[in-house]
């Protein structure tokens, strides 16, 4: 039986990081190794797939930008449309991996597997986690079934939906978790084992698109805190289209801030209420009429969904519908 064709799109990150010593786990340079160097440490990948790849960028993922998102989405969409590509693996730094993965989960339309992978230790470290992570990502991408679940992250033996996943630790290898809704599967003996599926729209079911888009609408995230000022009134004159508020508890905010937001909303600002807490859904309440609820999305993911929804419509009810569907 012929091996599947897996294409690796390398974006740098810790998995391609180099440090001065093998004991250095934090003072490394991310993205210093090429994809060819990374693959040399994992010769076993060639047992599971025919591998090709490209160096899309070589960055620390803290330098990921919306412009790179647009270019990456276009490139992955192009690769997914090729007959000689059966699955795609994206190597990426972990700091913003959950955001990039979710962006592609909404903006790339394909039934082929798209698997994100990275590492928490640089390639030069003692007990580096990158090689096994990359091997398991290729193994997952080699199975056509993986594409049914949208964009996924394979790290530390687990499979996470791009919608559910969060980075939960600054340095430990067991950092990516789906705290609220659980892992969708595990990697075991070289095979992905799936136990649940995300029901919200993604990839091949998504009607959101950034095709032909030169720039995403400007959306900012504001973190609620004691003493928060009424500076929000200045956002609309600065060209900001939307605001995601990481509010207290169930998406709440100080009364003065709400007064300021109401004025900005009359001028066209679209407001999404999310939460700064570690779990739970934000749902409609009469007190904050006119705002959109982030459901279970983290503030940073709510921002992405709002940006893509704003590319499609400025109708508040249609945007509300997107937050119920995606």
Is pLDDT above 80 for 232? no
- Give the DSSP per-residue string, 49-112: -EEEEEEEEEE-GGG--HHHHHHHHHHHHHHHT-TT-SEEEEE--SSSHHHHHHHHHHH---SS
Do the domain assignments include residue 211?
A: no
Active-site residue flag, 14 = yes
Do 102 and 240 belong together in one domain? no
> Residue 231 has what pLDDT?
73
Do the domain assignments include residue 213?
A: no
In the listed set 182, 205, 228, which residue is the last one of a domain according to the structure?
205
Do 149 and 64 belong together in one domain? yes
Do the domain assignments include residue 214?
A: no
Do 241 and 299 belong together in one domain? yes
CA-based radius of gyration for the chain: 20
CB–CB of 243/222 below 8 Å? yes
Do the domain assignments include residue 81?
A: yes
Q: What is the CATH number of the domain that holds 300?
A: 3.40.50.40
- Of 123-132, 187-196, 243-252, 303-312, the least confident: 123-132
Do 303 and 226 belong together in one domain? yes
Give the largest CA-CA distance in the chain.
66
> Residue 1 has what pLDDT?
78
Say how many C-beta atoms besides its own lie within 10 A of residue 282's C-beta: 28
In the listed set 183, 205, 227, which residue is the last one of a domain according to the structure?
205
State the Cα–Cα distance between residues 117 and 13, nearest whole angstrom: 10
Do the domain assignments include residue 101?
A: yes
State the Cα–Cα distance between residues 75 and 154, nearest whole angstrom: 21
Is pLDDT above 80 for 229? no
The active-site residue, picked from 14, 91, 110, 158, is 14
CB–CB of 304/106 below 8 Å? yes
Is pLDDT above 80 for 63? yes
The order of strands in the sheet holding 50-59 is 50-59, 5-12, 87-91, 114-117, 152-155, 158-161, 185-188, 191-194
Query: β-strands 185-188, 158-161: how paired?
Result: antiparallel
Is pLDDT above 80 for 152? yes
pLDDT, averaged across the chain:
95
Q: What is the CATH number of the domain that holds 49?
A: 3.40.50.1170
Do the domain assignments include residue 301?
A: yes
Do the domain assignments include residue 180?
A: yes
In the listed set 205, 234, 261, which residue is the last one of a domain according to the structure?
205
Do 190 and 256 belong together in one domain? no
Cα torsion 312, 151, 185, 33 to 10°: value is -140
Do 186 and 270 belong together in one domain? no
Residue range 5-20, pLDDT digits in tens: 999 999 999 999 988 8
C-alpha count within 13 angstroms, C-beta hemisphere, residue 16: 26
Do 176 and 77 belong together in one domain? yes
Do the domain assignments include residue 210?
A: no
Give the total number of structural domains in the chain. Answer: 2
Residues facing residue 55 across a β-bridge: 10
Q: pLDDT above 70 covers what percent of the chain?
A: 100
Do 188 and 223 belong together in one domain? no
Do 186 and 78 belong together in one domain? yes
The parent domain of residue 294 ranges over 219-325
Do 267 and 320 belong together in one domain? yes
Residue range 66-80, pLDDT digits in tens: 999 999 999 999 999
Closest CA to 200 of 102, 100, 283: 102
Do 63 and 199 belong together in one domain? yes
Do 228 and 186 belong together in one domain? no
Is pLDDT above 90 for 26? no
């Amino acid at each position: 039986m012929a091996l599947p064709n897996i294409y690796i799109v390398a974006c740098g990150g810790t998995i391609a990081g180099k440090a001065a010593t093998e004991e250095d786990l934090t003072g490394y340079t991310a993205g210093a190794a090429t994809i060819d160097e990374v693959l040399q440490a994992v010769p076993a990948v060639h047992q599971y797939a025919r591998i090709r790849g490209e160096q899309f960028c070589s960055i620390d993922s803290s330098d990921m930008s919306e412009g790179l998102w647009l270019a990456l989405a276009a490139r992955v969409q192009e690769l997914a449309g090729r007959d000689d590509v059966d699955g795609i693996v994206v190597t990426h730094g972990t700091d913003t991996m959950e955001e990039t993965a979710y962006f592609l989960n909404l903006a790339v339309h394909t039934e082929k597997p798209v698997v994100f992978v990275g590492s928490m230790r640089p390639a030069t470290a003692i007990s580096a986690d990158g090689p096994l992570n990359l091997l398991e990502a290729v193994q997952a991408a080699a199975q056509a079934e993986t594409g049914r679940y949208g964009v996924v992250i394979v790290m530390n033996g687990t499979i996470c939906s791009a919608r559910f996943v969060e980075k939960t630790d600054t340095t430990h290898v067991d950092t990516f978790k789906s705290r609220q809704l659980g892992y969708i599967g595990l990697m075991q003996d070289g095979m992905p084992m799936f136990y649940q599926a995300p029901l919200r729209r993604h990839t091949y079911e998504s009607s959101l698109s950034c095709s032909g888009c030169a720039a995403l609408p400007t959306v900012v995230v504001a973190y609620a805190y004691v003493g928060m000022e009424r500076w929000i009134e200045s956002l609309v004159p600065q060209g900001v289209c939307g605001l995601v508020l990481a509010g207290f508890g169930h998406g709440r905010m100080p009364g003065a801030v709400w007064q300021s937001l109401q004025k900005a909303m009359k001028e066209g600002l679209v407001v999404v209420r999310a939460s700064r807490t570690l779990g739970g859904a934000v749902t409609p309440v009469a007190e904050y009429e006119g705002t959109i609820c982030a459901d279970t999305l983290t503030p940073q993911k709510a921002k992405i969904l709002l940006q893509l929804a704003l590319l499609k419509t400025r109708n508040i009810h249609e945007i509300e519908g997107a937050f119920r569907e995606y």
